[in-house]
Structure 1
Amino acid sequence: MGAFNFDNMFTREAMAEFYSVAVREKRSLMQDIADGAYVSSDLTMGNEIEGSFVRQSDFQLPQTEDFPNGVFNSVREIVKERGGDLAAELGDFDFEVNTRAKTLTGSVFRDEEKEIATKMAQVEAAAHQRGLTTLLSGLTETARREDLVLAHLVQDEQKNHRYGGINQGVMRSRGGPIDITIANHAHTPAFKNSFDHIMAEALCAALQTHIKLRDPALDFARYMNASLILAAPIIAASASTPFVLGEGPLWADSRISVFEQSIDWRSPEVRSLESTPCNFPNRYYSNIGEFYGETLKIPVLIPDLSFGKNAAGKALISSPSFRLMVGTDWRWVRPVWHQGNDEKRYMTLEFRPMSSGPTVVDMVANAALYLGAVHYLAENSDPATKNPVIPYLAARNNFYVAARDGLDALLFWRGRNMPAREVVRETLDFAKEGHALLGIDSSDSKRYLGIIEVRCCMGTPGDIKTAEYQDYKQRNSDDRWGAMEQIVRASHTALHRGITLTLSGV
């Protein structure tokens, strides 16, 4: 794999035709939203959980060439035989588990934890039959530079075609290598690597939490803007990826930086463009049309007019070409429309900053914090039109400061710089109020938000990993890769014991 030929797709005529179709579909989508086609009565949530397969023997990433049908396909065929399903991601060593939509009330978080744990156990059992095991980590610590090659692109035919096209589109637009640089806490260059493809993105595993917008025309701006305000304290509280390809500690959540740089299509000459496909959204929004208008400013990366259609050319979802453009608009919060099995249409807001893992209960705690806080803030203010907690530029700056410094960050909040821990504690208050408004069981709220409260005292999962790394190196003659394996081993143990990493005793 790795040799892609999309020359006919990337002609000037094909690009222009695709863009013209996407513009028409965007107009149609906006009209449907205005006409109430996406109105829904219930407020629901769901999650996409990305993870990695690693070898049982040494926790290294598996090699595609060691599996006749590729790593992902080899595991998925067993999962399917047992009545389950597994979604493909960019890397052949990646996978994704999706949860069903659940009404945001009662025991929703406990139910979500049970569903994720059940599905992960099913994937784990299948992986074991292939000599593999599962890991949930925003950046797999044992990954090495040589793992990130196009030969390790997922072998799933449909996704291989799509990701191969995106790779070619990004590299054509960029016109040169992808350089990834991350400064350490002293703000000096501490990590630098160069790629001639987008496979560094395959390292990045996310917890993507969706909340349904009951009426996108009315709800989008409130929930979107509240999400932008909350992104920084939620990243500060959940940061878990201080290491990249054996280097670190770098940022508290280095995945933010790796992701943004790994699929940046911009050439050096146009890096000052306002709209980029992988960054913090550009403003507080007044309506959903503003956001999708910015999507149309992003160059077409993969002009595939067959996307979202069956063999007969019938669309399987509304506005499929514009949907593909939105799929390559990787901003940290974005609205996405869906079509259920009953063909009923609905729209969710996808919150993308949180890293996957390190355990199921850690992820549900992160989602509970976000969902409670965003509901409270959205229902009690509209940051675009009233007095926001913070101005937009402060929200954007806070996001990157929190990703870099975690709970040690200073965040601009209510007119002054405040320690991140204080901001997280206020966010916890928002979440508790939001849970009460939603009718979340008090025991659920206490259990999952209690995990966040413990982190404010004991540190984030990333802090635990850094402490484990430093302790191991001191005891083992500065063995960097041995320390990486120890971090993965500890995270893996906590994951499969069903406990939070903070209280795992590593």
Structure 2
Amino acid sequence: MGEEVEEQEFGGTDRARFREKLRRSLDVLARMLEEQRFDATDPMTGLEVELNLIDDQGLPLLRNAEVLDAIDHPDFQTELARFNVEVNVPPTALHSGGLTRLEASLRERLDDARARSTTEGADMVMIGILPTLAPEHLGARAMSADSRYSVLNDQVLAARGEHIRISIEGAERLEMVADTVLPEAACTSTQFHVQVRPDRFAAYWNASQAVCALQVAIGANSPYFLGKELWRETRIPLFEQSTDTRSEELQAQGVRPRVWFGERWVTSVFDLFEENRRYFPALLPVVDDEDPVSVLDGGGTPGLAELRLHNGTIYRWNRPVYDVADGLPHLRVENRVLAAGPTVIDTMANAAFYFGLVRTLAESERPLWSRLPFAAASDNFHAAARRGIAAEVHWPGRDRIAATDLVLDLLAPAREGLLDWGVEPAEADRLLDIVEERAKRRVNGAEWLVRRVRERSRDGRRAALRSTLLDYRDRMHTGEPVHTWD
């Protein structure tokens, strides 16, 4: 949710106006789909990474405004907490060295930002959840100053009507109550964007839903929260609970959560935006002055501000995106399932696996989702989040299979998909080899962290977490992939 939102209060009239404008926006979107108004000439891919700020002791550093001033680059922006920033890598086509361009852009931006941020006593870490977070880092004073965050926080709590309860049971158990949505800020992610034609959107979204369990299993990187060893990808349950606007009674009634895997395969991008309107009340009912019907009738491209703002407050793990670039509208799948890190090269290996495998599955003559029940895809996703690289999943024709074995089986289709995108064979092999080694050695960021913390347990948990995080930071900056760290 990157749109600017001024500090304000909302009433029933605001929500009624917003609901009506959202309906008009959906009508316009339907017309645009029917009239084939979308740009699909040279599909672009993109990358965003959320980062944690730490001091020289490995503790969270609440200085993102000062760090951003020091970095002084438009590709860096605030996130919810003062210990977070986000970097957006300029989009590119995958053909003709696109993955290498994304890698070079990300590495260049991170290296430059790290050098500049040292003036503020800061360092940057790519990790799903900062292991050294403590309860005092999740109070109101840790929220970034931008008004959109305080407005969103107030609206989530108002919709819920009570404080946020978080309960996660993994290797250990965590129970806590939060009076802000700041636990969400603990969850730092990598987001892949893939632009698709409207007529192919459903296939790419369905494929993304089907494979996200494998992404999480092979890329898990957040096993600790508030000193507890929980799930291998604790980001998943933590994010689901920390932005839940439902009371216990509404959960019992089956009201859908705003952090949502979904409940069915889709046939059109319109299905997802229509679900947004039908199931979720507006958190931020800000009405734009644009008349989208008049803009479309006049030959222009409507911004559909209400549709985009509403979509930004519904946190699907694979989110549909409507956007406008250079006056042309386009559609993207935003894949949000992975933690940040551990390194730039690991991030790019994850990207290659995702982009390649989704391409092959989406363009297959026999869709995978015609043979995989949606409920099984959802179960796979949460099983992978819980157990990481040790997860087992359901898969057509295989019943239950170790996620690592399935990843190894799917590397060839992922490579085929990359070549179909126009990726050079050597570029595809270099990145997919990293995924292969992770699967063979059964190690990812989460496994490395847990093993190292357990080795240092004689020093006490807090000391072990801090020393391991500093070790992780140093290895992250060498750029060597995580499977080589031991």
Could you tell me the TM-score, scaled by structure 1's length?
Answer: 0.89
1:352 is paired with a residue whose SS is strand
| Distance in 2, Cα, partners of 1:92 & 1:397 | 34
Quote how far apart the aligned CAs of 1:493 are. Answer: 1.1
**Is contact 1:359–1:491 with CA below 8 Å preserved after alignment?**
no
- The correspondence for 2:66, drawn from 74, 78, 84, is 74
Q: Does 1:47 align with 2:47?
A: yes
Change (3 A) 1:254 1:8: closer
Q: Does 1:411 align with 2:396?
A: no
Q: Does 1:333 align with 2:318?
A: yes
- The correspondence for 2:181, drawn from 185, 198, 205, is 198
- The correspondence for 1:287, drawn from 262, 268, 272, is 268
Equivalent residue for 1:302? 284
Runs ≥4 in structure 1, deviation > 4 angstroms? 5-8, 306-309
Equivalent residue for 1:252? 232
Change (3 A) 1:16 1:465: same
Equivalent residue for 2:308? 323
Identity %: 27
Quote how far apart the aligned CAs of 1:53 are. Answer: 1.0
Quote how far apart the aligned CAs of 1:486 are. Answer: 2.1
Quote how far apart the aligned CAs of 1:307 are. Answer: 9.7
Q: Which moved more, 1:386-395 or 1:103-112?
A: 386-395
Change (3 A) 1:205 1:431: same
Structure 1: 5+ residue stretches without partners = 64-70, 310-314
Q: Does 1:86 align with 2:76?
A: yes
**Is contact 2:167–2:174 with CA below 8 Å preserved after alignment?**
yes
| Distance in 1, Cα, partners of 2:95 & 2:471 | 33
**Is contact 2:127–2:188 with CA below 8 Å preserved after alignment?**
yes
The residue type paired with residue 159 of structure 2 is S
Quote how far apart the aligned CAs of 1:84 are. Answer: 4.9
Quote how far apart the aligned CAs of 1:436 are. Answer: 2.2
**Is contact 1:53–1:62 with CA below 8 Å preserved after alignment?**
yes
- The correspondence for 2:127, drawn from 137, 141, 144, is 137
The residue type paired with residue 328 of structure 2 is K
**Is contact 2:207–2:369 with CA below 8 Å preserved after alignment?**
no
**Is contact 2:6–2:147 with CA below 8 Å preserved after alignment?**
no
Deviations 1:137-156 (A, max 9, x none): 1101111111011111112x
Change (3 A) 1:303 1:235: same
**Is contact 1:174–1:267 with CA below 8 Å preserved after alignment?**
yes
Change (3 A) 1:473 1:7: closer
Structure 2: 5+ residue stretches without partners = 292-299
| Distance in 2, Cα, partners of 1:308 & 1:327 | 19
1:353 is paired with a residue whose SS is strand
Instruction: List aligned pairs for 1:109-120, cutoff 5 A.
Output: 109-120=99-110
**Is contact 2:206–2:369 with CA below 8 Å preserved after alignment?**
no
Equivalent residue for 2:152? 166
Quote how far apart the aligned CAs of 1:8 are. Answer: 6.0
Q: Does 1:127 align with 2:117?
A: yes
Deviations 1:254-301 (A, max 9, x none): 101111111011111211435321021221001111111111121111
1:48 is paired with a residue whose SS is strand
The residue type paired with residue 422 of structure 1 is D
Equivalent residue for 2:57? 58
1:380 is paired with a residue whose SS is coil
- The correspondence for 1:273, drawn from 236, 254, 266, is 254
Equivalent residue for 1:11? 11
| Distance in 1, Cα, partners of 2:116 & 2:42 | 35
Could you tell me the TM-score, scaled by structure 2's length?
Answer: 0.92
The residue type paired with residue 428 of structure 1 is L
The residue type paired with residue 135 of structure 1 is V
The residue type paired with residue 19 of structure 2 is Y
Q: Does 1:350 align with 2:330?
A: no
Change (3 A) 1:7 1:161: closer
Change (3 A) 1:264 1:455: same
Q: Does 1:392 align with 2:374?
A: yes
Change (3 A) 1:357 1:241: same
Equivalent residue for 2:294? none
| Distance in 2, Cα, partners of 1:207 & 1:484 | 22
1:87 is paired with a residue whose SS is strand
The residue type paired with residue 321 of structure 2 is V
**Is contact 1:9–1:15 with CA below 8 Å preserved after alignment?**
no
1:281 is paired with a residue whose SS is coil
Equivalent residue for 1:495? 476
The residue type paired with residue 429 of structure 1 is A
Quote how far apart the aligned CAs of 1:409 are. Answer: 1.4
| Distance in 1, Cα, partners of 2:23 & 2:365 | 32
Q: Which moved more, 1:328-337 or 1:488-497?
A: 488-497
Deviations 1:388-426 (A, max 9, x none): 342111111100001101121121111411111122112
The residue type paired with residue 79 of structure 1 is I
The residue type paired with residue 116 of structure 1 is L
1:9 is paired with a residue whose SS is coil
2:260 is paired with a residue whose SS is coil
The residue type paired with residue 502 of structure 1 is H
| Distance in 2, Cα, partners of 1:338 & 1:208 | 16
The residue type paired with residue 45 of structure 1 is T
Quote how far apart the aligned CAs of 1:245 are. Answer: 1.3
Quote how far apart the aligned CAs of 1:444 are. Answer: 1.3
The residue type paired with residue 235 of structure 1 is V
| Distance in 1, Cα, partners of 2:301 & 2:9 | 21
Deviations 1:436-470 (A, max 9, x none): 22221122111111111111122111101110010
Change (3 A) 1:358 1:398: same
Change (3 A) 1:207 1:7: closer
**Is contact 2:207–2:361 with CA below 8 Å preserved after alignment?**
yes
Equivalent residue for 1:22? 22
Change (3 A) 1:7 1:87: closer
Change (3 A) 1:38 1:235: same
The count of residues paired between Structure 1 and Structure 2 equals: 470
- The correspondence for 1:228, drawn from 202, 209, 225, is 209
Quote how far apart the aligned CAs of 1:6 are. Answer: 8.9
**Is contact 1:52–1:135 with CA below 8 Å preserved after alignment?**
yes
1:251 is paired with a residue whose SS is coil
Equivalent residue for 1:68? none
Quote how far apart the aligned CAs of 1:132 are. Answer: 0.6
Equivalent residue for 1:177? 163
Q: Does 1:504 align with 2:485?
A: yes
RMSD, matched Cα: 2.1
Quote how far apart the aligned CAs of 1:7 are. Answer: 9.4
**Is contact 1:50–1:97 with CA below 8 Å preserved after alignment?**
yes
Equivalent residue for 2:424? 441
1:99 is paired with a residue whose SS is strand
Quote how far apart the aligned CAs of 1:170 are. Answer: 0.8
